[in-house]
């Protein structure tokens, strides 16, 4: 990304605060003028005192000079305090406002992206977070420093250089000659460092993702005694990051020495040239100090050029990743306009094929099925058969490669995405619990629900009695609950939302036997007159389904009622028999029979 491209991208975020920008420019102009006062005062002072000395006049005659320069310098410093405060305060205000707008814009944007964006390579949560944080930080720091440091320095340099030319063309030309040489060296430095900075950006993203992965996997790491292995991985990344940082520092120090030499040679040239003019009577002694101070104002931005380049390069490099996220227009979820008042809940899937982003092999191939309205449809298959993927497609989380999905006879592509999801309740094997109270997490299913509705939903999911025993009740942090209790929160959300279509993906996988029976009874009640699609490895969850579809390696191999697909003696029978054996049904039946005999 070039500097002009970056400016064009951040312009919409700066435009609302153009009043602040204009005010900052006015302060910059005033500051650039006051910055030259010292040079004028010093020349006036030296020449005036030199004249008094030549005329053998003492302190009595010098009081006027002292009072004059004191008034000018004190007044200038008071004005500078006001100017610098305004520059820093309003520059910081501009940075904070733009930082807020950029951060909110990117958060709002990624919420509109399809799931494929987050599952594609390089878009893991840790990497995305690093790109956003570093992008916002570097861009807003550049904007702030532009008004606080860069603009005032260059304004001072231009004014000082104009004064040098006005005082003596040759001295001004000497001062001006330093600028392109210094700029060329600094630009070459920036170009050579750009590649290393991109390497550092990539390493930082990988390191952030690695740390996030460790934090999420601590129980597994400890159970397998892999602490040393994970530490070694992070050490490798840290060593590479350190090497890249040292390479940048080494190159920066080399170029800094070159630039310091160029600057000092400019000072030497000014001293020699002004001394020459003084000796020839073309300048006063005060003019020597006048030009040296003006040269200092000219070289001040040059001395800071490497810092400015560092900031600009950081902004350019990190803004690439940031704006890749912010402006990924092709990742925005597609949405149609069809939005009926009522939904029957009939799905018709025709010749469906789907491949996850980055995968070579399709997950689903040639899937054709019908999910009847008001019926319970079970999806059965071994792990990896494509069952959860099919639910993701029905919920418009992904778009199929080919084929079509119809809801109530209308293609999902034509449906308004919000309308689809508003009418679907989804309970996953592992549901996300937000950082908040139990009440807030249940209310997520219906934000405007009353407390009575929240409690009723908790009762239906058999969570209320457990919550009532907690000291803070529904105000307890939901993250403090067990995995099974958190699953009940997810099911309570479903009851609260009360949708006409329900997708259940292993809804009782993390529950104990008693809770599983309780939830099954609740789900059996809510299933009435609704379209239900359920995925479960539990026989009790699927055996009563109106229709069972069996998937194997991404293909539909069997379908029908339980008895029909079981009698087909295929994949379903293998899964059912294996489940029965794993439950040791023969022993359970023997135990139950013995218990009944004892009761008699």
**pLDDT tens digits for range 366-383:** 999 999 998 999 999 888
Query: Rg of the chain over CA atoms, in angstroms?
Result: 37
For the cut 80, the answer to whether the pLDDT of residue 216 exceeds it is no
Mean pLDDT for 535-541 is: 80
- Quick one: pLDDT at residue 309? 67
- Give mean pLDDT, residues 118-122: 68
pLDDT of residue 547: 94
Query: Among candidates 66, 72, 69, which has minimal Cα distance to 34?
Result: 72
Confidence label for 597 from pLDDT (cuts 50, 70 and 90) = low
pLDDT at residue 187 above 80? no
**The token pair that represents 315 in the structure block:** 């902004």
CA–CA distances in Å: residue 190 to residues 199, 201, 294, 313: 14, 16, 27, 7
What are the two backbone dihedrals, phi and then psi, of residue 113, each rounded to the nearest 5 degrees? -80, 150
* Residue percentage of the chain with pLDDT more than 70: 92
Q: Considering only 147-156, 237-246, 461-470, 571-580, which range has the smallest mean pLDDT? A: 147-156
What pLDDT score was predicted for residue 61? Answer: 67
Rounded average pLDDT over 62-85: 83
* Separation CA 111–CA 345 (nearest Å): 26
Residue 564 has pLDDT above 60, yes or no: yes
Count of CA atoms in the C-beta half-sphere (13 A) of 1: 23
CA–CA dist 59, 556 (Å, integer)? 106
Residue 59 has pLDDT above 70, yes or no: no
Q: Is the pLDDT of residue 53 over 70?
A: no
What is the DSSP secondary-structure string of 221-274? HHHTT-HHHHHHHHHHHHHHHHHHHHHHHHHHHHHHHHHHHHHHHHHHHHHHHH
335 by DSSP, 3-state: which? coil
Summarised one tens digit per residue, pLDDT across range 413-458 is 999 988 998 999 888 777 678 888 999 999 988 888 999 999 999 9
Read out DSSP for 472-483? Answer: TGGGSBGGGS-H
DSSP codes joined into one string, 536-587: -S-HHHHTT-SEEEEEETTEEEEEE-HHHHHHTTSHHHHHHHHHHHHHTHHH
Provide the 8-state DSSP code for 332: B
- pLDDT at 51 > cutoff 70: yes
Please count the other Cβ atoms lying within 10 Å of the Cβ belonging to residue 178. Answer: 20
Evaluate if residue 129 carries a pLDDT over 90: no
Order of strands across the sheet that contains 531-535: 424-427, 501-505, 531-535, 376-380, 547-552, 555-560
Q: What is the pLDDT of residue 71?
A: 86
DSSP string, 336-365: --B--S-----EEEEEEEE--TT-SS-SEE
Q: How far apart are CA 151 and CA 87, in angstroms?
A: 10
Query: What integer pLDDT is reported at residue 372 of this predicted model?
Result: 92
* pLDDT per position as a tens digit, 146-178: 776 677 777 777 877 888 788 788 878 887 888
Element (H, E) at 9: helix 3-14
> Highest-confidence range of 42-51, 292-301, 446-455, 578-587, by mean pLDDT?
446-455
Section 267-279 average pLDDT: 81
Q: In whole numbers, what is the pLDDT of the chain averaged over residues?
A: 82
Least confident span in 2-16, 77-91, 375-389, 501-515: 501-515
Residue 600 scores a pLDDT above 60: no
CB 331 within 8 A of CB 114: yes
| pLDDT for position 179 | 78
pLDDT value of position 598 = 64
For residues 236 and 44, give the distance between their C-alpha atoms in angstroms, rounded to a whole number.
Answer: 62
pLDDT at 560 over 90: yes
440 in Cβ contact with 434 (< 8 Å): yes
Q: What is the mean pLDDT of residues 393-398?
A: 90
- 83 or 455, greater pLDDT: 455
């Amino acid at each position: 990304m070039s500097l002009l491209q970056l400016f064009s991208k951040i312009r919409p975020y700066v435009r609302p605060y153009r009043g602040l920008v204009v005010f900052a420019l006015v302060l910059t102009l005033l500051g650039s003028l006051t910055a030259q006062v010292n040079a004028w005062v010093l020349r006036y002072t030296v020449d005036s005192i030199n004249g008094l000395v030549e005329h053998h006049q003492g302190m009595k005659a010098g009081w006027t000079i002292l009072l004059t320069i004191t008034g000018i310098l004190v007044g200038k410093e008071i004005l500078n305090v006001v100017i610098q405060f305004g520059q820093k305060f309003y520059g910081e205000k501009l940075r904070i406002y733009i930082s807020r707008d950029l951060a909110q814009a990117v958060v709002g944007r990624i919420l509109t992206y399809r799931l494929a964006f987050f599952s594609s390579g390089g878009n893991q949560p840790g990497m995305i977070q690093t790109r956003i944080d570093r992008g916002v930080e570097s861009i807003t720091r550049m904007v702030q420093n532009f008004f606080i440091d860069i603009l005032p320095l260059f304004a001072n340099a231009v004014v000082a250089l104009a004064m040098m030319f006005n005082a003596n063309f040759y001295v001004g030309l000497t001062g001006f000659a330093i600028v392109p040489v210094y700029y060329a060296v600094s630009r070459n430095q920036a170009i050579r460092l750009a590649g290393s900075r991109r390497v550092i950006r990539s390493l930082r993203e990988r390191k952030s993702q690695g740390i996030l992965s460790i934090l999420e996997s601590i129980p597994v790491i400890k159970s397998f005694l892999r602490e040393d292995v994970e530490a070694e991985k992070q050490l490798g990344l840290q060593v590479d990051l350190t090497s890249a940082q040292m390479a940048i520092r080494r190159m920066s120090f080399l170029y800094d020495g070159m630039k310091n030499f160029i600057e000092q040679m400019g000072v030497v040239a000014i001293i020699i040239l002004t001394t020459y003019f003084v000796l020839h009577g073309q300048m006063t002694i005060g003019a020597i100090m006048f030009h040296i101070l003006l040269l200092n104002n000219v070289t001040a931005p040059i001395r800071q050029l490497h810092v400015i380049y560092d900031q600009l390069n950081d902004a350019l490099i990190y803004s690439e990743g940031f704006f890749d996220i912010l402006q990924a227009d092709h990742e925005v979820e597609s949405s149609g306009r069809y939005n009926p008042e009522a939904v029957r809940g009939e799905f018709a899937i025709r010749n469906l094929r789907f491949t996850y982003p980055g995968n070579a092999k399709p997950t689903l191939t040639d899937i054709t099925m019908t999910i009847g309205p008001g019926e319970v449809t079970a999806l059965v298959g071994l792990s990896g058969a494509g069952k959860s993927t099919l639910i993701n497609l029905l919920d418009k989380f992904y778009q199929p490669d080919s084929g079509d999905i119809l809801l109530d006879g209308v293609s999902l592509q034509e449906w308004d995405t919000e309308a689809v999801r508003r009418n679907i309740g989804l309970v996953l094997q592992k549901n996300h619990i937000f950082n908040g109270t139990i009440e807030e997490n249940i209310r997520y299913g219906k934000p405007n629900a009353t407390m009575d509705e929240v409690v009723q939903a908790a009762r239906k999911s058999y969570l209320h009695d457990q919550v009532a025993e907690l000291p803070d009740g529904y105000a307890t942090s939901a993250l403090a609950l067990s995995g099974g209790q958190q699953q009940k929160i997810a099911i309570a959300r479903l009851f609260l939302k009360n949708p006409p279509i329900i997708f259940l993906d292993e809804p009782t996988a993390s529950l104990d036997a008693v809770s599983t029976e309780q939830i099954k009874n609740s789900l059996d009640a809510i299933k009435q007159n609704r379209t239900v699609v359920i995925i479960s490895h539990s026989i009790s969850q699927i055996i009563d389904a109106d229709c069972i579809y069996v998937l194997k390696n991404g293909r539909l191999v069997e379908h029908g009622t339980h008895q029909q697909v079981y009698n087909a003696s295929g994949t379903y029978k293998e899964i059912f028999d294996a489940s029965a054996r794993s439950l040791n049904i023969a022993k359970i039946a023997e135990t139950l029979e013995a218990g009944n005999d004892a009761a008699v």
